[in-house]
Structure 1
Amino acid sequence: MATINDIQAFLDEKTAALEPRLIEIRRDIHSHPELAFQEVRTAGIVAAELARMGIEHRTGVGKTGVVGEIKGGRPGPTIAIRADMDALPIHEETGQAFASRIDGQMHACGHDIHTTTLLGAAEVLKELAPQLAGTIRLIFQPAEEVLEGAPAMIADGAADGLDLAIGFHNMPDMPVGEFGFVRGAALAASDRFDITVQGKSGHAAHPYAAVDPIVAAAHLLTQLQTVVSREQKAIHPCVVTVGMFQGGTTYNIIPERVALKGTVRTLHKEARDVAEQAIARLCQGLGEAMRVKVTLDYRRMVPSLMNDDSVMDPAIAAVTDHFGKPLLQREPSMGAEDFSAFADRVPSFHLLVGAGAPGRADRLHNAFYQPDEACIGLGVRALARIVTERLR
């Protein structure tokens, strides 16, 4: 029987025995990537594995998510571990034997790694459960890449009754075997905007008889950058990026309209509010100044991901104790992650798991991404140790 009194030896031995099977599952999921809210096959694998382990679970949470629960032997807090399952619309070019079999879809962010790691942690923690005080909720989440999966699962009750939550992400810019953390705001709030600038189409030779939406939209494009440089506090990071500027069809026609799409990233709530208000004001002013009609659709997606010291510090201590070396303290990123929707509700910590393979310089969202699969077993040990120490 597993004993919590010799937790390090148990976790190491149990995980080592599970690793070949976990790698097999990971490669199967990797070969069959599924985009946001299409993770039917992946969710089926997860549900089948949880059933095999004897873990109660429900499917169809947040459309294609799966939630399992492991009850400890004594009452205590409920802690969630969350893993995302969706892939990206990228054509894989790794040439690996288990490369994606679906053209134009790839696990280029390592969510196949995450799903498998949580399955491994589930199996380990199921065996330890009688000695733990509390409940472990296993959240297998869809649609992280579109920042909609966590809110959908929360709407279906995935966060109800939680006391704290743990998320994690593989990091190819950290060597496998290393773990990391960010104190405070770790990842940015992510918001989106769609802007339509409506003018009056006409002949390019007679612009006075038209209202040119391209010129107006070009002015707006440059004005949007003043949201960062002239409206935000210098110590409040903010990014405003227009990723699409589309209008017109040929050389000699002034088009009827121009469409812009963009994203706003901020770490502080004040900066988020300032950006939204400024963009709305600039759009309104453009209409008056340039004789165009401007329509703005501004959508707040997810808040910044805040690591809570009360969850993070014990987790860092648990991982440090298990592996015998300190974690790497990292800088915040202006990237976004919808685990922040859970962290906005309960105290949470987002663990960074080194996945960089020796001799490679991989990056996430890249067609050639090849994480070191050793990060799966290491992640299992780290997550299981964090939860075990919390629920002793």
Structure 2
Amino acid sequence: MVISGINDPGRAIAEATARIEPALIAIRRDIHAHPELAFEETRTAGIVAAELARLGIPHRTGVGRTGVLGTIEGGRPGPTLAIRADMDALPIHEETGQDFASIHAGKMHACGHDIHTSTLLGVAAVLRDLAPRIAGRIVLVFQPAEEVLDGAEAMIADGAADGVDMALGFHNHPDMPVGEFGFVRGACLAASDRFDLIIQGKSGHAAHPYDAVDPIVAAAHYIAQAQTVVSREVKALHPAVVTIGMIAGGTTYNIIPERVALKGTVRTLHPAARDLAEAALRRLAAGLETAMRVRCTMDYVRKVPPLRNDDRVLEPSLRAVADQLGVAPKEGDPSMGAEDFSAFADRVPAFQLRIGSGAPGRADRLHNAFYQPDEACIGLGVQALSRAALELLA
């Protein structure tokens, strides 16, 4: 497709997208059938690299271990815009029954990263031919390991953010019907932190608890107290979540175990709440030692900061989507989910666009074994993101 000489960019983008959409859907289905977990995306990265090579787009592989970085140079000097898509799957066994369902037991694209990868390949194809119109440079970031919140930093460590002035991200949303788009001003996704707590007691016979130090009772106290961090310590107007996702300890009915292990996550939108939650959870663990005669060891890890949308990228992108598709993106609420695109947004002005992927007649959700996004969101996403890039680098 050669569309750089057309005066109507919206029409050019729409026509180009219509031509390549069937191929993008085929790529999506191929990736979907062969899901790869975090930092294992070698086959997916190979597909991406082959497509970029076919398009004549310079690129390098092995960025952040299994990521791919492509570059499109504009027709004249200007800023650098990074557009990012994630590639990894989840450890979920697929139950959709689709002809292109995962061939790997226990692995599935249940978050739509196959959709994201094929969408960005479409954007690459469209923007390659619009490059003479672009004032600046586009960096195509095909990122591994978003689900474990490590891939963005790994790619950045290998230069993915070098020279980047702004960043554009996107995510499919099955809670929005296909054809709709959404956005949030400011913090749209939460900081995600995690902790491991080992509560060490003294094992003994269940019939003689006075001769032991029971870590299970201590763990029960800790779990109950941890919930008071949000309800009684964090400011009510600062959203926060503390969830204990795993507890392990003991072997049978009549033995008090030696220790209990807990795993938990903390989600916050405000820096003050993030600091307070960590300090409170550490304090409760220290207090447990005195109150319950146990020994506590906590490993607390701050993973990613909140993802904050910057109006300098958000506003031009919203105008571009409306101009391209005649649909005004709808303002929504922040989510306490997390995204490591925040690693880019923490460095440069950024915006993550919400792309409706809900199929008609389905009430679907991410991260489940039956997830089936409407593939029409691929072409719509290509149009929206291509027009946004053109607007940002006009």
Do the two structures share a fold, i.e. TM-score over 0.5?
yes
Provide the residue aligned with 1:45 in structure 2: 47
Q: Distance in 2 between matches of 1:66 and 1:251?
A: 52
**Alignment partner of 1:336 is 2:338:** yes
Displacement, 1:325?
2.4
Distance apart, 1:160 and its partner CA: 1.0
Q: Which residue of 2 aligns with 1:54?
A: 56
C-alpha contact 1:4 1:131 (8 A) present in aligned 2: no
Q: Which residue of 1 aligns with 2:126?
A: 124
- Per the TM alignment, residue 151 of structure 1 is displaced from its structure 2 partner at its CA by 1.0
Query: 1:196, 1:257 within 8 Å by CA — same for their partners in 2?
Result: yes
* CA distance in structure 1 between the aligned counterparts of 2:48 and 2:274, rounded to whole angstroms: 37
Q: Secondary structure at the match of 1:360?
A: coil
Contact 2:313 2:392 in 1 (8 A): no
Amino acid at match of 2:307: L
Q: 2:104 maps to which residue? A: 102
Aligned partner of 2:383 among 377, 381, 384? 381
Corresponding residue SS for 2:202: coil
> Aligned Cα RMSD in Å?
0.7
CA distance in 2, matches of 1:274, 1:370: 39
- Pairing 1:63–2:65 present: yes
Indicate the residue corresponding to 1:134 in structure 2: 136
Shift in Å, 1:391: 1.3
How many residue pairs get matched? 392
Residue type of the partner of 2:273? A
Partner of 2:299: 297
**Given residue 83 of structure 1, which amino acid in structure 2 is its aligned partner?**
A
1:334 is matched by which residue type in structure 2?
M
SS in 2 for 1:143: coil
Do the aligned residues in 2 keep the contact of 1:192 with 1:261 (CA within 8 Å)?
yes
Trace 1:189-200 onto structure 2 (pairs within 5 A): 189-200=191-202
Deviation (angstroms), 1:5: 2.6
Runs of at least 5 residues in structure 2 that lack an aligned partner in the other structure = none
Q: 2:27 aligns with which of 22, 25, 28?
A: 25
Query: How many angstroms does 1:73 deviate by?
Result: 1.0
Match of 1:364 in 2: 366
Structure 1 contact 4–128 (Cα < 8 Å) conserved: no
* Cα distance in 1 between the residues matched to 2:327 and 2:12: 19
Query: Which residue of structure 1 lines up, in the alignment, with residue 152 of structure 2?
Result: 150
Counterpart residue number, 2:228: 226
What amino acid maps onto 1:358 in structure 2?
Answer: P
Q: 2:13 aligns with which of 11, 14, 23?
A: 11
**Match of 1:5, SS?**
coil
Q: Deviation at 1:324?
A: 1.4
Give per-residue Cα distances to partners, 1:56-92, cap 9 Å, x unaligned. Answer: 1111111100000000011100000000000001110
**Cα separation, 1, equivalents of 2:55 and 2:385:** 18
1:364 counterpart SS class: coil
Structure 1 distance, partners of 2:230, 2:360, is 38
CA deviation profile, 1:136-162 (whole Å, cap 9, x unmatched): 000000000011111111111111111
Paired letter, 1:320:
A
Q: Distance in 1 between matches of 2:369 and 2:17?
A: 30
Instruction: Measure, in 2, the Cα distance between the counterparts of 1:44 and 1:224.
Output: 45
| 1:4 CA drift (Å) | 5.7
Residues 75, 132 of structure 2: 8 Å contact kept: yes
Counterpart secondary structure, 1:371:
coil
Letter in 2 for 1:300: R
Partner in structure 2 of residue 246 of structure 1:
248
Q: CA deviation at 1:108?
A: 0.4
TM-score (norm. length: structure 1)? 0.99
Deviation beyond 6 Å, 4+ runs, structure 1:
none
1:277 aligns with: 279
The one of 316, 324, 329 aligned to 2:318: 316
CA shift, 1:20, in A, is 0.8
In the alignment, structure 1 residue 350 sits paired with structure 2 residue 363: no
| In the alignment, structure 1 residue 114 sits paired with structure 2 residue 116 | yes
